Every structure is written in C-alpha cells, then in structure tokens.
Structure 1
Amino acid sequence: MSFSAVIFDFFGTLTPSTPAGIWDEHAARSASPLGIPMQQWRRALDESFPERATGALGDLSQTIRTLAQRCGIDPDDDALAAATAARLASQRELFVFRDDALDALEQLRSRGLRIGVLSDCTIELAETWPTLAIAPLVDAVVLSCQEGRRKPDPELFRQVARELETPTSECLYVGDGGGNELSGAAGQGMTAVMLRESDWADNDAHAREDSWPGPFLTTLSNVVSAVGDPPLITA
C-alpha cells in the first residue's frame, strides 16, 4: 500500500511542543490589560477551549470580551484592544515550525504527495494562516474553529481527504496524539502514526493518546522515509 497524501496535525507536530509554563506566561500578557489575575484568566481560557476551538465565541475581540465578562470584568474599548493584541501576539509566537518541517513538506511534495493540515485550533491560527511560511506547501487546511467541530469528529478526517481529492485509505496521518486524533484518523481508514519528538512529554495537550499502540516516528524527517518506496509505514 502506497500513500498519495500526508495529513499533519499542527500544534506539537509541525510546531514544537508547548509546556504549561508558556501558556501561563501568555495568559498573563492578555490578563494584565483587563485587570484579571493570571490564574483566573488561564482557567477561563482552559475552560472555554471547546467553545473557542469550534468558533462558538466569535472573533478574537468578541471572545476576549465574553471571557472577561465571565471573570466579572466588562472591559472598556482600550483594555479590550490591548488584551486582544496581546493574545494574538502571544499565540503567533507558537506558530514557529520545527527545524525540519519545511524541508520535510517540500520533499514530500517533490515525491508527488499532497499535503494536508488538520488542526484543533482557535481563531488566532485561522487569522494568521495565510501569512505562514508553510501555507504555500499545504494543499488543504481544515481548522476546527472554522468547521464548528473538533477531533476526533469523523467528518473532519473525511473533509480533509475530500479536499485533498484522496481516498482516506491512501492518507497517512501524522500527529502527537492530542484530541484523540490518531484513533479518529484510523477509524476513517487512514494510516495513523504518532510523532513522538524529544519534547513530546513537555506538551500540554488536550486528551492526548499517551498509550497509542500504533506506529510512531521521532522526527518529521522520518515521515519522508516512511512514505518511501516501499513505505516503512504500511496500511
């Protein structure tokens, strides 16, 4: 069985893992203009992730206002603008790719494979995506905040395969296991492989499949070898 497409998770897969301390630091930046204690704001962000990841709270400014009100604060326009800017800036710091990410995608494309990205994410990534260096290398991007559903919803996996014009059986899915994505991909007929980089244990991920029994790779560069002829990972 050969592959026609490779689909990547975004956070912790194409990007380095994000430990809890970084999330705390970033929360502090957007909490400060609102006058909300960091831990209270971090809790509001964490608890609202299911809503934010499905776009249920609107654009970023609307999201910040709603969460501030849940914390008992009705911010004025200046405080809201400052908090929104701080949140967007801190999130964009996470959109930095692993050292071998761009090269791996370029090599996969040179071999004729189509590339997809499927991410559980909030509106900040959707707003920033067109400016990212990786965007021209990706044939189909499916973001939960735009689709109104999260992994492991079967429709997300079917949708990215449709946009890649590739049967799910010919798709290799690569992710760190957050959001039960590997089981979700496998359930739709994809070959799922865990990316278990050296920073894997540092990642503060949602519902990660730590006990994933299937195959795993240790670098994105290994993905290129895995889809060689013959492939090291087989369906």
Structure 2
Amino acid sequence: MAVTAVVFDFFGTLTPSTPAGVWDDHAARSAAPLGLPAGVWRAALDSSFPERATGRLGDLAAAFRTLARRNGLDPGDEALAAACAARLAAQRELFALRADAVPTLSELRARGLRLGVLSDCTAELAESWSQLPLAELVDARVLSCEEGRRKPDPELFHLIARRLGVAPQDCVYVGDGGGHELTGATACGMRAFMLRAADWADNEAHSREDDWSGPSLPSLSDVLSLLPRLP
C-alpha cells in the first residue's frame, strides 16, 4: 500500500467521544441567556445540525438568532452574545484532543506523511481552528461548514486529497464512522479504518456506521503500525 497521506475525522476521532449528557449540559448553558428551556434548545440544535454543518444559517450569531426566532423569541443583542459565548466555551471543551493524538500526528509527520482533517462541523470549529494545537500539525483541512456539503459527499474526500497534493488512492482515512464517512472514503478510493476506541459506544454521532465490517483500530496510535517511514 503506497500511502503518502492520512486523513482524520475530528470529533470522536482526534477528540474523545461525547456522551449525550454532555450535549444536554452544553445546550442548557447556551439556552439560559435566551430564556429557553434546555430541552427545547437541545432539540433546536439537533434538528438544525444539517443546516449549521453546511453553513446555511451563517455564523454562530446568525444561526442562534434564527433558531431563537423559530422558537418564538427575538433575542436582544446582549442575550444573543451571552448565548454565543456560552456555546463557544462549551464547544472549545470538546476541541481537547485525545492523549495520543499529538504524539501520533507528530510521528506521522516525522515519517514524511501528509496529514489532513475532514470534519462535519459547525462554525465554532472553523472560528477556533487557528487556536488549536492541531492546526500546526495538519497540512490541509476540509470543514463541512465552509464547503456547504456533508459526508459522505464524494467531493469532500476528493477535495482533501487535492489540498494534500495526493491521489485519494494514496490516502488512509481514519474516523469513528459518523456521517457514513468510512463508506464515503472507500468509494473514493481511500483505505478506511474505523477508530473503535474504548469510548466509541459513548459517542452520540450523526448517522454513524455501526455496521461497518471493514478494518478497525482500537486507538489512534495504532495508525503508526500501518504506515512505514517514507524515504
């Protein structure tokens, strides 16, 4: 296998899995400034994910204003700003990487491999990207909220390969299976591996491929055993 690049999913792959209770808590924190019940706001966030993850609702403030209006509120600037600040703080907690993420990516770079991130995500990740330690380790990123499409759209997989300067057939793809990403990567010629870490069952992912029958890895660091050091 002539691999020259590795593409990683972000949430639940480079970061730990996120249980439902954490999402409930985060929704409550951004609902409070708006005066909405936490459950109502959580439902609004869940149902709007396809729109927010493809950028159709604009930046975070625009998206939150739209969602509040859908629930019969027209929040003032102060309440909206407080809700957005609470959301950003909560999301940044989810940007913390797995303990073996930086060592694994650093070693892959030392071996001469190109590294990419392909994520279905909302505007918060794009806005925070430059502040993440990950940004210095990754050669290219493709974020759904910036591209207007979600996994398993083949254009996303071809786009990350182009940005890495490689063919899809030269890429290994690693993800927890959210958004049917493994099937999507495979269809584009990448060799896909499911990251099935110890916390995999805790993750509340969108359209996850729980029935994936392809190869899997128990930890991120196991990617290293797949790939040799390039000359």
> Taking structure 1 as the reference length, what is the TM-score of the superposition?
0.97
CA distance in 2, matches of 1:229, 1:80: 50
State the distance in 2 between where 1:98 and 1:89 align.
Answer: 19
Q: Tell me the secondary structure at the aligned position of residue 105 of structure 1.
A: helix
Aligned pairs for 1:1-235 (under 5 A) are 1-228=1-228
Q: Which amino acid aligns with 1:112?
A: G
SS at match of 2:36: coil
| CA–CA distance in structure 1, aligned partners of residues 40 and 31 of structure 2 | 9
| Structure 1 residue identity aligned to 2:76 | D
Matched pairs, number: 230
Deviation at 1:227, TM superposition (A): 1.1
Output one character per residue of 1:15-68: Cα deviation in whole Å (capped at 9) or x when no partner: 000000000000000000000000000000000000000000011111110000
Match of 1:10, as an amino acid? F
Conserved in 1, the CA contact under 8 Å of 2:4 and 2:114?
yes
1:155-192: CA deviations, max 9, x gaps?
00000000001111110000000000000000000000
One-letter code aligned to 1:179: G
Deviation string, structure 1 residues 72-122 (Cα, Å, up to 9, x no partner): 111011111100110111011100000000000000000000000000000
Give the whole-Å Cα distance in 1 for the aligned partners of 2:66 and 2:103: 40
1:228 is displaced (CA, Å) by 2.6
Contact preservation (8 Å) 2:112, 2:229? no
Which residue identity does 2:224 align to in structure 1? V
* Runs of 4+ with >6 A deviation: none
**What CA distance in whole angstroms lies between the structure 1 residues aligned with 2:2 and 2:193?**
15
Contact kept? 1:2, 1:227, Cα under 8 Å: no
**Cα separation, partners in 2 of 1:62 and 1:229, compared to 1, 3 Å:** closer
* Preserved CA contact (<8 Å) 1:54 1:122: yes
Residues 229 and 114 (structure 1), Cα distance of their counterparts in 2 relative to 1, 3 Å cut: closer
Deviations 1:128-173 (A, max 9, x none): 0011001010000000000000000000000000000111111000
- For residue 2 of structure 1, report the CA deviation from its aligned partner: 2.3
What amino acid does structure 2 have at the position aligned with 1:221? S
Deviation at 1:226, TM superposition (A): 1.2
Counterpart of 2:57 in structure 1: which amino acid?
L
2:13 counterpart SS class: helix
Instruction: Name the counterpart of 1:233.
Output: none
Looking at structure 1, the residues matched to 210 and 53 of structure 2 have their Cα atoms a distance apart, in angstroms, of 21
Partners in 2 of 1:14 and 1:207 — Cα distance?
A: 18
CA root-mean-square deviation: 1.0
Q: What is the TM-score normalised by the length of structure 2? A: 0.98
Q: Shift of the alpha carbon at 1:229? A: 6.7
Deviations 1:1-25 (A, max 9, x none): 2210000000000000000000000
